[in-house]
Every structure is written in C-alpha cells, then in structure tokens.
Amino acid sequence: MRIDAPPPPSEDLRVRIGLFVPCFVDAFYPQAAIATLRLLEHLGVEVVYPKEQTCCGQPQFNAGLRDDARVLARRFCELFSDFDFVVSPSGSCTSMVRNHYPSLVGDDPVCARAFELCEFLAGPLGITKLGARLEGKAAVHIGCHERRELHAEPAVRALLAEVEGLELIDTPADAWCCGFGGTFSVKFPEISTAMGERKLEPIVESGADYLISTDASCLMQLGGLLSRRNLDRPRPMHVAQVLATCLEER
C-alpha cells in the first residue's frame, strides 16, 4: 500500500520550481536530488531542472575570487530567472544565492526566491506532515549556513518531528560545525578532521541509528570519518531521502 502525502497545494500555491542541484549533491549524493525531485512532484509542484546549471560560485567566493564568483552568479540568475522559486537540497549553496549573491550582482529577484528544501516545504508550501516513516533513533546535523544564515532549523526539525517511527536525539554536538567548510577543509585538513571527530563523539555515544543532515558536504565529511572508524552506525542520510520515504510502498 502507498502512503500518500497531504493533498497538493491549492491553486494559488501552484508554482513552477527551478531545481538547483549543487556540485556535492551532483557528484556524491545524486540520490538526494532524486528524492527532492520525486517529493516535490508528488506534492503537485511543477519542477524543472535547467541542465545548463553549474557551480553557484561559493568556492570562488570563499577563496576571495569575487570576479570569478560574479560570473557564475550572473549566469545562475539568468538560468533561474523564469521560475517562481529556486529549491535546492542544500542549505549551504542556498545561502550563497540568497545572502551573498546580492554583494556580487545587486538586487536580483532570483536571490530572494532561493529556498532550501525543508524551508520551502514548511514555508511557502506550508507542509510539515508528509507521511514519511523511518524506524530508529536519529541525531540531526543542520549545517552552519542553514542554521546560522538561513535560520531554517525550525523548518528542518518540524518536518523530521512528523516522521513516523523516528526518535530525534539531542546531543551536545547539535550546534557544532562538522569541520568541512568547503575550502577550509582543503587549506586546514588537520583542523577540519579534528572538528569532525569532536562533532561525532557525542553522536556515536548517543547510540543513534542515523545521522541526518541537510547538506551533502557535511554528510561526506562525517560519513568519511565514520567509515575510517569502520562504523556502520549511525548511518548518514540526507534529509530529502528521509522525507521521501513517504513515497515508498509498504
């Protein structure tokens, strides 16, 4: 039997979405993008994936290469200019578009229309109960950009709180950075690794079955450290995959 999500949004909320798939999702976690697409379509939202999209320019921006980042930002705004919203399974890249593009391209309307998946579901769509189900205990890592720049932690937790069978565990590490930080992990690998290990300690000790995050880059960082320890628990999962369990047959 199929567990259906809530009815599609009313006609006045029917919108056309541009799906933005960041580099780390495309290269390492394509299943998160697929889950995002399937979930949005299931909710009755029209979703288009512009195939010409590339990196949002965050690595260049963080490295101080503002002219290079500006080129990518302008191209991004052109590609997504015809959509009502831009939705992405990444808080980090969404924050780049919404909070940092204005310093590169000015007051382009695309910037304000960019949303991370969870904040889009709980915000413009007004949906938190999807009919998702996942048995077990989970620690939640909300990436720094999502937590501190998008202020989207309430949206993430509201959606996960409605996942049937899932017990959310609070740990002292909940608000700690995972240590990845994009170019930071390349420039300072020892510090990055130490931060990741510190982050994981309370999570592993909690006995969590899952480590759920909103960003593929954080999952890659923490998942890699878990793999080096030969630990199969907690299992890293992107939040989009968790929410998309509402589409599974039971």
Given the DSSP bridges, would you call strands 16-19 and 85-88 parallel, antiparallel or unpaired?
parallel
pTM (predicted TM-score): 0.91
| φ, ψ at 178 (rounded to 5°) | -80, -15
Q: Answer yes or no: are the C-beta atoms of 53 and 72 closer than 8 Å.
A: no
> Looking at 151-233, which runs of residues are DSSP E strands?
164-169, 210-213
Cα separation, 198 vs 195, in Å, equals 5
Which residues lie closer than 8 Å to 170 by C-beta, 6 or more apart? none
pLDDT in tens, 167-214: 999 999 999 999 998 888 888 999 999 999 999 999 999 999 999 999
Cα–chain center distance at 47: 17
**Domains in the chain: ranges and CATH:** 11-122 (3.40.50), 133-247 (3.40.50.11810)
pLDDT in tens, 7-33: 444 444 578 999 999 999 999 999 999
Tokens of 188: 């300072």
Cα separation, 24 vs 93, in Å, equals 10
